[in-house]
Structure 1
Amino acid sequence: MLNAFSEVYVKFKLHFYQEIFQRFQSREANLTTVETFCMETVQALGSPTIHEFASFMRISPPNAAYKVNSLIKKGYLSKNQSATDRREYHLAVTEKYTSNYNISSSYTKEVTLRIEERFSPEDCAKFQEMLSIISEELMPEVELPPSIVNRLQSK
């Protein structure tokens, strides 16, 4: 089981890396590898504040602000004022990023469609149950905020 799980995980990682480097080869490299990881994290977190992003990445708020401002200048991120707390700003991935770099989510969708085509609905339901247990119970080191869990579950 460990070997099979590791193989799938490594394949997802390697596909991600291949896509990043292919984009660096095929167009001007506007994003560094670290910036790409930052963007993928912001996209995965939904609309985090700079503080939420910094906390999740375990970096200082000034370091996070520096990275965010650089990505805003490059046009890959925007800051949107909160409707409920006017002092707070949420980060949003721009169309420029999603059209050029939307790497991990498109491949995840592709593999999911292949799973649904290959396996019975019963097997897919069991797999979904197992993945939920893995995420909710067996991976306590990566705690997703409730807003992200809700967004992911509604897809």
Structure 2
Amino acid sequence: MWTETDSPIGPLRLVERDGALAAVEFAPYPEPGAPDPGERDDTQPVLVETVRQLAAYFDGGLRDFDLPLAPRGSDFQQRVWAQLRTIGYGETASYGEVARALGMTNAASRAVGLANGRNPIPVVIPCHRVIGANGTLTGYAGGLERKQVLLGLEQDGLF
């Protein structure tokens, strides 16, 4: 099931699977051939709560999401996504720092970046908080403009 909500970074499609949030998708949504999100249901409890928490986050009143999550990915991707959730609101970490936190060397930065880019639940799993080693904004599946908006919201309270 899925629903859609407006946000300062554009429309977001929220996908639920088995009572948990499975995806947050940026418009334009995935092309035909991508996994079918099922029927639209604006009353599904997990989706209603996700809309509420996202609105509070974008209003600056929520720093930590409390939602059941069900991202699909490899064991390594799951480890990276779990580590992303430890990067605090308004903070950033480099790909190398994430790799080291996982007990790996900087050489794993590229693998961390690939896993980061495949995060199916952006914003909630804060992949936007990962930046280049030199402090620059680097790749973001939703586009660098969205990443900049999200970091600006968290660091400055600005859009």
Higher helix share: 1
- TM-score between both structures, scaled by the size of structure 2: 0.30
Higher strand share: 2
- TM-score between both structures, scaled by the size of structure 1: 0.31
